[in-house]
Amino acid sequence: MTTALRRELLLCVPGLRGVPGLRHLFRDAADHPGLALLGQALGRGKALPGGEEAAGVYGNAARLCGLAAAAADETAQPLASWSLWGESQETPPPAGGWLRADPVWLEADRDRVVLRDLVSLDAAQARVLVTLLNEHLSAEGLHIEAVSPRRWYLRMQDEQARALQTWPPYRALGQDIHPFMPAGPAGGRWRRLLNEIQMLLHECPVNAARREAGQPPVNSVWFWGGGVSSRAAAGQTQADSRTVALQGVWSDDPVLRGLGRVRGAACAPLPPDAAAWLAHAGAGTHLVFCDAPWLPALRGEPEEWADCLAQWQRDWLAPLLEALKTGDLDALRLYDGGGTGWDLAGWRRPRFWPVRRRAFREWL
């Protein structure tokens, strides 16, 4: 049982083992010389009973936060409300349903439309686009708020949120968007709005300037994370009674910080490395969400993925394993975001017998 003097870490690294269903594409890149320690650590780790791959990264993160009811299916959860609560806000957002409406780049590819990427904008470009969209959406009684240039939020009524099913953009990145269009009783309305938004953005001056500069256009938004407000979610979503109190959540993803606030945990941005985390994290159980390898994995960029993962091994895994040996860290559990985990506490114990070393590629 965790005591007040212990410091334990749940380390979640989505993209750790590439992309589910396509891991064979990453095996050659996994021979990167900077990933040898990761293979050894997994070989000495103890497999943990995990979540479900179908639950998705955010569903499994909810499970790690102790929100068992929210872990079954992330598409049914108020991810946008949690995200808004995680945007450096100390109180839940106003009552009602919320959607993320993030700027994205879609591209026609033969007989399908593909979600190519999430688009990073500067503040001026975001203001122009959001103003343009709000002029159109006002007739629908809708309004977009740009909390940051790349994260936009749209407020709905509770009943609208409950009648809509959406998917986080990471599920569709690089794929045909049609299976991931808004669904449910209200899905038709939101698909119509998306068509109107795409036509509106097609000839927008911001996009004309971006094309001229060789930058991807913002030719749509991605609606996702619909659900009731975090205030309601906090009251309705019960923590698993077997879960220890969560002391802190450390992440640059506002959804994770919102999950932490639902659990009453302190929330902070991801530190630059494990040394900084060890210097600031107190006793108790902490969740750290390192997502640097996630985007290159989703984009299907094995070499960049391996480079990001090697840097993560150097900056995070190696110092944390050393902290286990010295007793500066009492427990370390590593999760891949897809429901698989390993207890790495055995790293602190010396081995007196030969152990077959598994290369990291064998774990993909």
Q: Let me know whether 320 and 207 are in one domain.
A: no
How do beta strands 144-148 and 112-118 pair?
Answer: unpaired
d(CA 346, CA 24): 29
Would you state the torsion angle of the CA atoms of residues 198, 84, 163, 52, taken in this order, to the nearest 10 degrees? Answer: 100
Percent of the chain with pLDDT over 90: 71
Listed residue (148, 281, 151) closest to 222, CA to CA = 151
Q: Between 140 and 230, where is the model more confident? A: 140
Three-state secondary structure call for residue 191: helix
- pLDDT at residue 357 greater than cutoff 90: no
Summarize the confidence of residues 41-64 as an average pLDDT.
88
pLDDT score recorded for residue 349: 67
> Is 167 part of a structural domain of the chain?
yes
* Secondary structure element (H or E) that encloses residue 46, with its range: strand 46-48
pLDDT score recorded for residue 148: 94
> Is 78 part of a structural domain of the chain?
no
Last residue of one domain, picked from the residues 175, 208, 227: 227
Q: Between 297 and 70, where is the model more confident? A: 297
Could you report the per-residue pLDDT of 185-213, keeping only the tens digit for each? Answer: 989 999 999 999 999 999 899 999 999 99
> Is 178 part of a structural domain of the chain?
yes
Distances (CA, A) of 156 to 113, 184, 187, 189: 27, 15, 14, 13
Summarize the confidence of residues 351-355 as an average pLDDT.
51
> Is 89 part of a structural domain of the chain?
no
Q: Which residues contact 41 (CB under 8 A, 6 or more apart)?
A: 317, 321, 334, 342, 344, 347
Q: Find out whether 243 and 265 touch, Cβ atoms under 8 Å.
A: no
Residue type, 69: A
| Euclidean distance between the first and the last CA atom of the chain, given in angstroms as a whole number | 33
> Is 359 part of a structural domain of the chain?
yes
Q: Let me know whether 178 and 65 are in one domain.
A: no
> Is 23 part of a structural domain of the chain?
yes
Q: Let me know whether 245 and 354 are in one domain.
A: yes
d(CA 175, CA 173): 5
pLDDT score recorded for residue 350: 63
pLDDT score recorded for residue 5: 72
Q: Which domain holds residue 214?
A: 97-227
pLDDT score recorded for residue 228: 59
d(CA 133, CA 338): 35
Instruction: Extract the tokens encoding 233.
Output: 């979610």
d(CA 166, CA 70): 15
> Is 249 part of a structural domain of the chain?
yes
Last residue of one domain, picked from the residues 173, 204, 227: 227
Chain centroid, CA 163 distance in Å = 24
> Is 324 part of a structural domain of the chain?
yes
Continuous H helices in the chain: 36-44, 56-64, 79-85, 123-137, 158-162, 187-202, 205-212, 230-236, 254-262, 274-280, 294-298, 302-312, 318-326
Q: Let me know whether 101 and 212 are in one domain.
A: yes
d(CA 181, CA 75): 12
Q: Let me know whether 130 and 198 are in one domain.
A: yes
- pLDDT at residue 232 greater than cutoff 60: no
Last residue of one domain, picked from the residues 202, 227, 252: 227
Chain centroid, CA 142 distance in Å = 26
Q: Let me know whether 107 and 213 are in one domain.
A: yes
Q: Let me know whether 354 and 291 are in one domain.
A: yes
Three-state secondary structure call for residue 164: coil
Q: Let me know whether 255 and 312 are in one domain.
A: yes
User: Taking the complete model, does pTM exceed 0.85, yes or no?
Assistant: yes
Q: Let me know whether 223 and 243 are in one domain.
A: no
* Secondary structure element (H or E) that encloses residue 283, with its range: none
Count how many domains the chain has: 2
Q: Let me know whether 36 and 66 are in one domain.
A: yes
How do beta strands 97-109 and 112-118 pair?
Answer: antiparallel
- pLDDT at residue 230 greater than cutoff 70: no
Q: Let me know whether 247 and 223 are in one domain.
A: no
Q: Let me know whether 251 and 351 are in one domain.
A: yes
pLDDT score recorded for residue 91: 81
pLDDT score recorded for residue 351: 57
Could you report the per-residue pLDDT of 16-27, keeping only the tens digit for each? Answer: 999 988 889 999
